[in-house]
Structures are given as structure tokens and as C-alpha cells.
Chain A
């Protein structure tokens, strides 16, 4: 089959690779319908996140049609149109059975690679470095899905392929982050980052009862998308201080919750950002954490900071602000399996629509160019969607 592979830092190619097969009895094989770029891919494409090997097929946000099922798969059928959360859940372990599927205790074949860093290894993920399992990714014609009955969710007829695609990750991550905000009716939730995850976090917060959402970014086309979905916006390059802008918009109190949806390659202004860039450029630090520090500073006292951006080993973490402001910090990779039914209901009811994230759609053969557009944010690209 054809697939997009990582051959090295900033070296991608579409190549012919082996077709996936059923390996374990709970496996399913999917014909990939749509698969999409994700900002977290940029971290290993740019060489900031280790653990890729030349030839790895990557991609972790996808939907498609079931073409093969293993002997122990009972609910999922050949022909089902399904969406699949990015993390592999077994559905049986302590974490999966308590609604934390990305923390799965059994699905990471390379758990020993992750334990030295995390203490306790998390679950596997498709196409996202070997410490995260080394599973084949979704930027391919076919993909193997372990535990098909747990991880394949049938898409209702009135949900489009594109909507189902983003339910796999951008919406699932944004929704998870909004749930972490413990939104009370009328709350104000600020979101740093108007990429796919940030936009979906804002939409999810409103669906969960937030009175206002304020999205912070610098790209006009993304701020337009946020505005079109019902958020107020702050262009951080057009204000002297994001903190003051948010204070002014909230009567001096600050947002009740702040979602950080940028990650380790964040942009910003000011001296600290210059220092971050310099340290990252010489590989003295994995992260440029300006948005994380801004989110912590911006949140009202006693509020919640929900961290969705992917970070490495961030230094210069402002713990004093967390303590003295009485903040609650919540974070996780997405809990898509837990929230899928609710997410699809919101999509069906029109309360959340991820469709505008798909600014570019192209064949898989053009995916290298798709990643270039996405990385450079050219032509208003929010997400490049590939049709294998």
C-alpha cells in the first residue's frame, strides 16, 4: 500500500510499504477514508521529539471503513463506517474502565521505553514514536486497529466523514480539555491557540455551558474561524499585553478557566520567548513554553488551567503562580473513547461542527506538500486532510 513515511528530520515521503494484517484476535483492519495532519506531528518532524525511526508510517487522526475483523471481535462488522480515537485502549484495565483510555495499562508494546521518562507508561498511539508503542500510523491506505470493539465507533448517518475524522482527535482532545475546565453555566473560558484542537476546545466549552469563550492567537484566518464559531478573540500581536486584554474583557477578574492548546513550539512576544527560542534552537531545551506560562498567568485565582498542548521536558515552569493563585492544572492526552457518544451527539445537534478545520483536502500522494502547507500555515491552512 501507499503511505506517508518519516525518513528523518524534515524528511517525509510517500512510499510503498507492507499492508497491515490482523495480528491479535481483537484486531480490526480499516481502509482509511480520511486522515489528517496534527500539530503534534510537527514536534517529531522538526526533530524536537525523539523516538521516530526512518520509515515510520505516521498519522493518528483518521476514520474509515472496516475491511477485516479478528476472531474475538464481535460488535464491529466489516463495512462499518467508523471513527477511531488516536490512543489505543484495551477497555479492560484499571484506567480504561475508569474513563481514562489514553492511560491504558496494556496497549503499549514499548512500555519499557517510556517508563524511564514517565515513571508509569501510558497507552499506545498510532504513528507517534516508538516510546508511544511504535504502531503503524494512519497516513496510509490501511491501518490496523487493536481492540476493534473498544476503539472503533460507528459513525451515525447524519455525521459526515469530515466531522467523524475530527472526532478522532482534534475534537476529542478539545472536548477532553473542556471537560477538564469543569465548566459552570455562564463561565468564561479562554483558549490559547486557534488550531484545530483550540477551536474544538472553545466549541466544546460552549456546548458544555460556558457563557463566553475567548480565543487567543495571531493568525487572522484562524481568529476569523474562532469568531465565526461564536468566540471572542484576542490577537496577541496587536495588544500590549494579553493578560491585560483578558482582564479588561472579564471585568478585572480573569477567565474562570484557560485551555492551553499550543504545545512545545509555541510563539509569543517578549524576552522570555526570545530566550525560549534560543534555547530550543541549540537543543538546550525541548520546549518553547510561552503559551503555557501565559495561560497560567491569565487564569483567574482559583481557576482551572487545562493543558492540551504536547510538551517535552519544559523548564522555567512558574510553579509559584500555580500555588499562590490556587490554580488547578489538569492535563491528559485525549479521552476520546469516554466522550465519543457525547461528542457525536453534540455534532448531530449542531452544537459543535469541526468541518471548518478541513481547510485543505488532497490525495495522500500530495501529503508531503500538505504537511508543508500545514507547518508553514500557508494559504490559511488549519488542517490538511488526505484521502488515501
Chain B
């Protein structure tokens, strides 16, 4: 019988394969907390507003899945390869301000499963702080998940990259549903 952690792991593996499946064959240890930092040429408030908006996060997820929110309770339905059935990850969004855990941070957004109290609980953390040289916002996306570092890193980068694209241009780069390759059934 699979527990919540297995469900999350399966969901994330599916999502990662959906967005960055060819990153590489990496097996073995659990992610130690993959982190990707990007500079976003927009103010912290604008970036925070995007991450608080489930519709925008849904857009950033793209083909990796979808998310619905009811107040601070966010339910993620993440794609799984080879299956039409998404898997669910129920989380609660907690929001904090400047944090000693993240020096210099202005906003800390944390999604985690309140039912999972284990030390190795999975979570998605977005930390925002003013970027150096007035370049906008330093956006840190941290994924702490039961998948290898490289896969978690790819997922974190993809989420952060798409969020930045959405903020900068109003759209997310995609080749779906029109990839350069033929459909498999052609």
C-alpha cells in the first residue's frame, strides 16, 4: 500500500518526465533539496503575486499538471507518464516574511502536506528577495522531494523559468501541442 510520500514521488517523477524527461539517467539517492535561483526583472511584489495566484502557477506548470486552490489549501494534480490518471498532492500554503533561514528574504512561500509530519516531508519553497543592482527580484525555487537531485533540479528550474517568462512576457514558452517531432501515432 502506498503512502502519501509514494504518491508525491510518483507525481513528481511524472511531472519531471513531462517537462524535462531527457535530463539524464540519475538513480539512487533522494534529493537533498534541489534549488534553482533566477533573477526576474520585476519587483518582489509582482513576483509574489504570481506565486500566490493558482491560475498563474497552473500556467507555469503547463504540461506537468495543474493546481486548484481553496484559500490556503492547494491541491496539485500532477501528470504521470503512461497514465491518464494524475496523482494528487494536497498541500497548505504558508507565507512568511523575512526569515533567518533565508537571509535577506522578503517573502517566503511554502507548500507542504500538513498530514506529513515526518522529518523528510516534501515541500516546495519559493523565496523572494530584492536582486542586487536593482535588477528586480532574486527568485529561489527549492524542491525537497524524494527524487534524485538532477530531476528535482530540472523541475525547480522549469517552474522558476516559466514563472519568470510569464512575468516578463505574459506567456509561457511551449511547443505543446506542436512539438518539432511527429505525433507518436503518425
Residues of A within 8 A of B (CB): 5, 15, 17-18, 20-21, 23-26, 51, 53-58, 72, 90, 92-94, 105-113, 115-116, 121, 124, 127, 130, 133-137, 144, 146-147
User: In the complex the two chains form, is A24's CB within 8 Å of B180's CB?
Assistant: no
Q: Given A94-B39, A111-B161, A113-B20, check contact A53 B181 (CB 8 Å).
A: yes
Question: Which of B165, B171, B173 interacts with A133 by CB under 8 Å?
Answer: B173
Query: Beyond A23-B176, A24-B172, A121-B161: 18 further Cβ-contacts under 8 Å?
Result: A5-B182, A18-B178, A18-B183, A21-B178, A57-B180, A93-B168, A93-B169, A106-B164, A106-B169, A107-B165, A107-B173, A109-B175, A111-B161, A113-B154, A115-B153, A116-B150, A130-B22, A144-B178
Q: Is the CB of A106 within 8 A of B173?
A: yes
Tell which of B157, B171, B175, B183 touches A112, judged by Cβ atoms closer than 8 Å. Answer: B157
Could you tell me the distance in whole angstroms from the C-beta of A19 to the nearest C-beta in chain B? Answer: 9
Contact B180 A115 (CB under 8 A): no
- Is B19 at the interface (CB under 8 A from chain A)? yes
B171 touches A24 (CB 8 A): yes
Known: A105-B164, A112-B23, A113-B20. A20 touches B178 (CB 8 A): yes
Q: How far apart sit A26 and B170, CA to CA, in the bound complex (Å)?
A: 9
Q: Does B91 touch A at the CB level, under 8 Å?
A: no
**Distance between Cα atoms of A144 and B175 in the complex (Å):** 10
Cross-chain contact of A92 among B155, B168, B174 (Cβ < 8 A): B168
**Nearest B residue (CB) for A26:** B171
Query: Can you list 14 A-B pairs with a CB-CB distance of less than 8 A?
Result: A5-B182, A24-B171, A26-B169, A93-B168, A105-B164, A105-B168, A106-B161, A109-B173, A112-B19, A112-B23, A116-B150, A133-B173, A135-B180, A136-B180
Count of B interface residues, CB-CB < 8 Å? 34
Does chain A have a CB within 8 A of B35? no
Contact of A25 among B22, B157, B170, B177 (CB under 8 A): B170
Answer yes or no: B86 CB below 8 A from chain A CBs.
no
Q: Please tell me if the beta carbons of A136 and B174 are within 8 angstroms of each other in the complex.
A: no
Provided the pairs A17-B186, A57-B180, A94-B135 are in contact, do residues A112 and B154 lie with their beta carbons within 8 angstroms?
A: yes
Q: CA of A107 to CA of B171 in the docked complex: distance in angstroms?
A: 10
Q: Is the CB of A72 within 8 A of B175?
A: no
Q: Find the A residue at minimum CB distance from B183.
A: A18
Contact B169 A92 (CB under 8 A): yes
Interface pair B164/A55, CB less than 8 Å apart: no
For B175, list chain A residues within 8 Å (CB).
109, 133-136
Cα of A24 to Cα of B166 in the assembled complex, Å: 11
Residues of B contacting A: mostly: loop
Q: Is B71 an interface residue (CB 8 A)?
A: no
Q: How far is the CB of A310 from chain B (nearest CB, A)?
A: 18
User: Is the beta-carbon distance between A90 and B168 smaller than 8 angstroms?
Assistant: yes
Does the CB pair B180–A134 fall under 8 Å? yes
Contact A90 B23 (CB under 8 A): no
Are B181 and A56 within 8 A (Cβ)? Answer: yes
Q: How far is the CB of B19 from chain A (nearest CB, A)?
A: 7
Interface residues of B (CB under 8 A from A): 19-20, 22-24, 39, 41, 135, 150, 153-155, 157-158, 161, 164-165, 168-183, 186
Contacts of A57 in B (CB 8 A): 180-181
Q: In the bound complex, do residue B178 and residue A109 qualify as a contact, i.e. CB atoms below 8 Å apart?
A: no
* Residue of B with least CB distance to A72: B170
Question: Are B171 and A109 in contact, CB atoms less than 8 angstroms apart?
Answer: no
B169 touches A108 (CB 8 A): no
C-alpha spacing A22/B150, complex, angstroms: 33
Contact of A58 among B19, B20, B180 (CB under 8 A): B180
Which 8 residue pairs spanning A and B have beta carbons closest together? Answer: A55-B182, A112-B20, A106-B165, A112-B154, A55-B181, A24-B171, A109-B173, A56-B180
Min C-beta distance of A324 to chain B, whole Å: 34
Minimum Cβ distance to chain B for residue A210 (Å)? 36
Chain A nearest CB from B36 CB (Å) reads 8
Q: Given A113-B20, A124-B173, A136-B175, is A106 in contact with B182 using a C-beta cutoff of 8 Å? A: no
Nearest A-chain residue to B177, judged by Cβ = A23
User: In the complex the two chains form, what is the Cα distance from A105 to B39 in whole Å?
Assistant: 10
Assess A17 versus B182: contact at CB under 8 Å? Given A110-B20, A112-B158, A116-B150.
yes
Are A25's CB and B171's CB within 8 A? yes
Query: Could you say which residues of chain A place their CB within 8 Å of the CB of B182?
Result: 5, 15, 17-18, 54-55
Chain A, residue nearest B41 (CB)? A94
Contact assessment for A108 and B181 in the assembled complex, using a CB-CB cutoff below 8 Å: no
* B158: A residues at CB distance < 8 A: 111-112
Contacts of B172 in A (CB 8 A): 24
Q: Are B170 and A127 interface neighbours, CB within 8 A?
A: no
B residues within 8 A CB of A110? 20
Q: Tell me the minimal C-beta distance from A1 to chain B in angstroms.
A: 12
The smallest C-beta distance from A98 to any residue of chain B, in angstroms, reads: 11
- Closest Cβ of chain A to B21, distance in Å, is 9
Closest B residue to A94 using CB positions: B41
For B186, the chain A residues whose CB sits under 8 A away are 17, 55
Chain A nearest CB, measured from B13 CB (Å): 14
Give the most central of B24, B170, B173, B182: most A CB within 10 Å.
Answer: B173
Residues of A contacting B164 with CB < 8 Å?
Answer: 93, 105-106
